Amino acid sequence: MTQQIPQQTQSPAQSPDLPAPVSASGGQPFVHDAVLVLSAPSFVASRPDGDLAAPVDGFYHGDRRFLRSLHITVDGGRPASTNSVLQSADRATFDAVLRGTAQQTADPAVTLLRERAVAPGQFTETLSLTNHGSLHARLTVTVTAESDFAAMDAVKSGATTDPCEPRGEDDRLTWSAHDARMTLTARTDDTAARTGVSVLGPRGAFTFEVCLAPGESWTCALEGRAATDTPTPFGPAAHQDRPWAELRLDSADGDFTRLVGRAEQDLTRLLLCDPEAPGDMFTGAGAPWYLTLFGRDSLWTARMLLPLGTKLAAGTLRTLARRQGRNVVPSTEEQPGKILHEVRAETQEIDDGTRLPAQYYGTIDATPLWICLLHDAWRWGMPSTEVAALLPHLEAALNWLVEYGDPDGDGLLEYIDSTGTGLANQGWKDSGDSVRFRDGSLATAPIALCEVQAYAYEAAVAGAELLDAFDRPGADRYRAWATRLQEAFRRTFWVSDEHGPYVAIALDADKQPVDAVTSGMGHLLGTGLLNPEEEATLAERLLSPALADAFGLRTYATSNGGYNPLGYHIGSVWPHDTAIAVQGLARAGFPDHARRLAENLIAAGPAFDSRLPELFAGTARSASARPAPYPASCRPQAWAAASSVALLQALLGLQANAPEGALTIRPVASRLLPLTVSGLSVAGHELTVSVAADGTVSTRTSAPVEVTA
């Protein structure tokens, strides 16, 4: 993810009775209090009262904002907001009362209900005024709107954008600019209401004169539509073709049940499809900032959702394989076999000097993660014909590890921004200040990240297993390469402090360990890179208060210089990062550690209405009853949502090896029990798992696997 923070790295790199127009003061807009309703590639972000009024608010399609403001006033004043409810990922309602209107007592008499729904390329909003009192009400309802067609990078940087002047006719307002058009239509069945359309500078307005007898209601339907001559890079996925069955969880922990339910809804509406093969679906990374294909994010999301089936993994793998690097292109950092970082509609120009091409390959970890996903999907039962079709791409990706990922031949994967305008850091912690020494000073590239070595080791071993299984040559080469990487890692990454040994976050340009204590250690567990004694050492360090006394795992320990609980990668908690550590702890044989960390993250759910954000503050649980939001965080975010399924898999001890007909379930004793979950899938067959309070397991599946519990 590209975050708008100061870059401190070696590489350079956003009429009087009408409401005031939206303005931006500069800097990335805050979004933590926005109500976001989506159906990819479209979404609406608004205030809790339903108005589109803040710098981030608007109706977006693709990477463009088609409507930037929408206000409802009654008799020149704003209704008093009383409630907002996210009914589902694509629907929300907003309740308000009209103070002093048709009242006989202090009790409000007239209410306004706004019901919003989003579909790809459009949104609808139904306004309902109801007179609950005993007096007649005469009201003037005004709907005002503006459009600016701002590009997402401009919105994200906080840039001020000029509005477009609309054209008004009959019941419609229309805005046009370049290749884009926005229409807003207002319809009401009440012929007694007089409708007027007016244009005042950049604002368009609808006006209705409404008379309500006691007990009467009046409704108006607003319909917004976006149109563009330039198609978005990826299209909407057909909801009926969702690549997993409905997931149902009944757990003793209600917070966790709600977390999983909300996540499944959000993930469904984050789905996009590849226009080159519309049946291939993947998840956009998150809204508002990243609703497109991201190699790393989409791969991790698909990997975490493998217990729901392999269709999403297959679609993600194929979508990325079609765009796998074929040539050496320095301007985009493309290399043969490399998996890309992100795809946008157009080049992003960011105000810190960063310039990212529309198809950008500046990532060190997407390629090994692609290999790991292919291997894991095969083990979960991805059809062998589909796996076989991807083997040429596997061979190209494995070759990239050896020939391009390690340019200096020291046995480790490393990166440096070769363009001078790309991402300075190219792992998942890709902000400019994320790779630091314990004293807080910044590391200098080339950088070799600890977690990337684990991904690469796991990928080389897993890729070799696939080559052997499908009678392809080359497996011995990659196993030998993995052994050399393991030896180099053991020689160079281990450091010590007053609490004992641990793994540094990275090596710098001088091959010196960058010795900050970070969550990156959690990504090493269960990958095979470490021996059991090393895993035990890291398991204890991960659960130390400096990293884990928050509502999840901090990215950066409180003992490090420069720690900031609201630092993007230097003290915050990322749900997916915590979930990866939970899975690693469970795989490495530390179930109690996994449970404790998982329960910390689950406890964060209620603070965010069960919709976990991209990240949140790393405040200690002892200091606050609920975690503080990171103000610019995406919510929903695909891998944050998928983290709940990753926790479920880890706490069930669920592992599949469909090629050998095996399924293992070893639940961790936790407050989730008893639980029953249906909608899981292995080898294309539905799987239901029940775990009693005493840990007794029962399953129901027609899959050709032997269940070991």
Are both 542 and 459 inside the same structural domain? yes
Distance CA 94, CA 689 (A): 38
Q: Residue 22: which pLDDT band, with cuts at 50, 70 and 90?
A: very low
Are both 507 and 598 inside the same structural domain? yes
Does residue 18 surpass a pLDDT of 60? no
Does residue 23 surpass a pLDDT of 60? no
Are both 150 and 291 inside the same structural domain? no
Question: pLDDT tens, 278-305?
Answer: 999 999 999 999 999 999 999 999 999 9
Residue 353 contacts residue 7 (beta carbons within 8 Å)? yes
Contacts of 483 by beta carbon, 8 Å cutoff, 6+ apart: none
Is residue 243 included in any domain, yes or no?
yes
- Report the candidate in 266, 193, 277 with the shortest Cα–Cα distance to residue 235: 277
pLDDT at 121: 97
CA-angle at 550, arms to 545 and 556, nearest 5°? 70
**CATH, residue 338:** 1.50.10.10
**CATH, residue 161:** 2.70.98.40
Q: Where does residue 411 fall: left (phi above 0), alpha (psi -120 to 50 degrees), or beta otherwise? A: left
Is residue 707 included in any domain, yes or no?
no
Are both 452 and 400 inside the same structural domain? yes
Helix (H), strand (E), coil (C) string for 417-469 = CCCCCCCCCCCCCCCCCCCECCCCCECCCCEEEHHHHHHHHHHHHHHHHHHHH
Tokens linked to 400 = 């990239």
State how many domains the chain has: 2
pLDDT at 239: 74
pLDDT at 10: 34
- DSSP code at position 75: T
Mean pLDDT of all residues in the chain?
A: 94
* Burial 209-246, CB ≥16 within 10 A → b, else e: ebebeeeeebebebbbbbebeeebbbbbbeeeebbbee
Give, in order, the Cα–Cα distances in Å from 684 to each of 95, 307, 385, 688.
Answer: 44, 11, 14, 13
**Among candidate residues 228, 246, 262, the one where a domain is terminated:** 228
Is residue 30 included in any domain, yes or no?
no
Is residue 77 included in any domain, yes or no?
yes
**Among candidate residues 177, 195, 228, the one where a domain is terminated:** 228
**Among candidate residues 172, 204, 228, the one where a domain is terminated:** 228
Are both 142 and 259 inside the same structural domain? no
Q: Residue 238: which pLDDT band, with cuts at 50, 70 and 90?
A: confident
Are both 215 and 302 inside the same structural domain? no
Is residue 150 included in any domain, yes or no?
yes
Question: pLDDT tens, 41-62?
Answer: 999 999 999 999 999 999 999 9
Are both 216 and 359 inside the same structural domain? no
Per the DSSP assignment, residues forming a β-bridge with 675 are 251, 691
Is residue 185 included in any domain, yes or no?
yes
Question: pLDDT tens, 513-544?
Answer: 999 999 999 999 999 999 999 999 999 999 99
Are both 306 and 334 inside the same structural domain? yes
Are both 449 and 356 inside the same structural domain? yes
Are both 544 and 638 inside the same structural domain? yes
Q: Residue 185: which pLDDT band, with cuts at 50, 70 and 90?
A: very high
Are both 392 and 291 inside the same structural domain? yes
Cα 626 to chain centroid distance, Å, stands at 21
pLDDT at 191: 62
Tokens linked to 262 = 């909300």
Q: Residue 192: which pLDDT band, with cuts at 50, 70 and 90?
A: low
Distance CA 676, CA 697 (A): 10
Question: pLDDT tens, 341-350?
Answer: 999 999 998 8
pLDDT at 349: 86
In 137-182, which ranges are continuous DSSP H helix?
152-157
Per the DSSP assignment, residues forming a β-bridge with 507 are 448, 513
Is residue 14 included in any domain, yes or no?
no
Are both 211 and 255 inside the same structural domain? no
Tokens linked to 492 = 């160079």
Is residue 19 included in any domain, yes or no?
no
Structural domain that includes position 276: 235-701
